[in-house]
């Protein structure tokens, strides 16, 4: 068995790419617009995963063994429910404080702040829970995160 990707449905391509590419740092590898089926598929991977794999990301078909996210936009969809039955996606990050600050500066709520210097949760524009885990040792507790309360669902 080989892991290929995780698919999540999105309702707004621009908002989702802002979150995953600009906010989390993913790289778009491939986009497929299917006129007949009225949907768009967008495949994303992290630059670090691309580096580790030795791939550039422009290979076709997309390489197996490269962890990817497939964003699926059904053109006629007006929005999705929260989808908490999906659970969450988790990513190891170089600095949990820096990525939380970047997302916060972009207007995203940090639903579970990294008070412990290790773990945080945010939600995508389609309410998908994203867990961010500090790479290596926990960071020293730091403000504003150390005293920030949870908000919303995560």
Positions marked catalytic: 131
With 0-12 / 13-18 / 19 or more C-beta atoms within 10 angstroms meaning exposed / middle / buried, residue 121 is buried
Whether residue 127 contacts residue 147, with contact meaning beta carbons closer than 8 Å, is answered with no
147 upstream amide cis, omega within 30 of 0: no
Tokens 């412990």 -> residue:
116
Residue among 61, 58, 68, 78 nearest 8 (CA): 68
* Strands ordered across the beta sheet of 110-112: 88-93, 129-134, 119-123, 110-112
């Amino acid at each position: 068995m080989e892991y290929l990707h995780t698919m999540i449905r999105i309702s707004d391509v621009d908002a989702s790419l802002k979150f995953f590419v600009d906010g989390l740092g993913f790289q778009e590898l491939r986009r497929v617009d299917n006129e007949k089926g009225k949907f768009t598929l967008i495949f994303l991977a992290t630059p670090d995963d691309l580096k580790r794999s030795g791939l550039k990301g422009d290979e076709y078909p997309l390489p197996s063994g490269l962890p990817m996210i497939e964003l699926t936009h059904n053109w006629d969809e007006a929005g999705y429910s929260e989808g908490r039955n999906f659970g969450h996606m988790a990513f190891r990050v170089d600095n949990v404080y820096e990525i939380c600050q970047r997302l916060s500066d972009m207007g995203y709520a940090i639903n579970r702040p990294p008070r412990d210097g290790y773990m945080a949760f945010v939600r995508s524009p389609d309410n998908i829970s994203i867990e961010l885990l500090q790479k290596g040792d926990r960071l020293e507790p730091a403000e504003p995160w150390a005293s920030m309360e949870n908000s919303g669902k995560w």
